[in-house]
Amino acid sequence: MAAQPQTYLTEEDYLQQEAQAEYRSEYFRGEVFMMAGGTPNHNRIKENASGEIHALLKKRKSCRSYSSDQRVYIPANGLYTYPDLVVVCGPNRYAEKDKNTLTNPTLIVEVLSESTAAYDRGTKFRLYRDLPSLQEYVLLNSLAIGAEVFRRTPDDHWLLADEAYALTGSLYLQSLEASLALADLYEGTDEVPEISVSSKS
């Protein structure tokens, strides 16, 4: 998701610049990273996930979903970023320096692409785990049929809790007490292949 860093900025400089910027950027410890645009399949999967989760939340009035224009801040490590999809259950909490930036996601969804998969699975996931509110992290693959949900355990560890690699499969989200059908998540995409479990990595 992030590209090459720009010149060092303070948080205040970044927030001021971002308020006027045409394109979104991440911020981490003084460096600003332009965020790459998504492919048609990436965007279709993201929109499908947003629609499906929004429909689920009609039954859970205490939870709300937000699209990829919603910025999230992680106080413990200083990352400002824009997840593909965020769900907050309970009252929203905001960054001290910007009252439009959320700090308490319950669920985060990222759609993997060729350029972002390693970051979303690795460094970004480690940074997300510093959010005490975060209960589940969902990865949806835009290059092949595949979905995974990582879940925080009561003793503050993270486990791969569910996965599916066929359009007949589904993904259970404990934080929402509901399942997402992969056929719905991949509806309208172009030639996204199924892969065997042995080759999913």
Q: Which domains does the chain have, with CATH numbers?
A: 39-199 (3.90.1570.10)
Helix (H, G, I), strand (E, B) or coil at 17: helix
Q: How does pLDDT run across 31-63, given as a tens digit for each residue?
A: 999 987 789 999 999 999 999 999 999 988 899
Residue holding tokens 């785990």? 129
- Token digits for 132? 């005490």
Residue 61 has a pLDDT of: 84
- Token digits for 121? 């699975």
Residue 199 has a pLDDT of: 47
Residue 3 has a pLDDT of: 52
Helix (H, G, I), strand (E, B) or coil at 143: coil
Are the CB atoms for 85 and 50 separated by under 8 Å? yes
Residue 37 has a pLDDT of: 78
Nearest to 93 by CA among 120, 50, 57, 131: 131
The DSSP secondary-structure symbol of 194 reads B
Strand segments, DSSP code E, in 61-127 are 63-66, 72-74, 79-81, 85-89, 94-95, 98-102, 107-112
Say how many C-beta atoms besides its own lie within 10 A of residue 74's C-beta.
19
Residue 52 has a pLDDT of: 98
Residue 1 has a pLDDT of: 43
The contacts of residue 134 (CB under 8 Å, 6+ apart) are 105, 106, 107, 108, 128, 152
Low-confidence stretches of the chain (pLDDT < 50) are 1, 199-201
Are the CB atoms for 124 and 81 separated by under 8 Å? yes
Residue 4 has a pLDDT of: 55
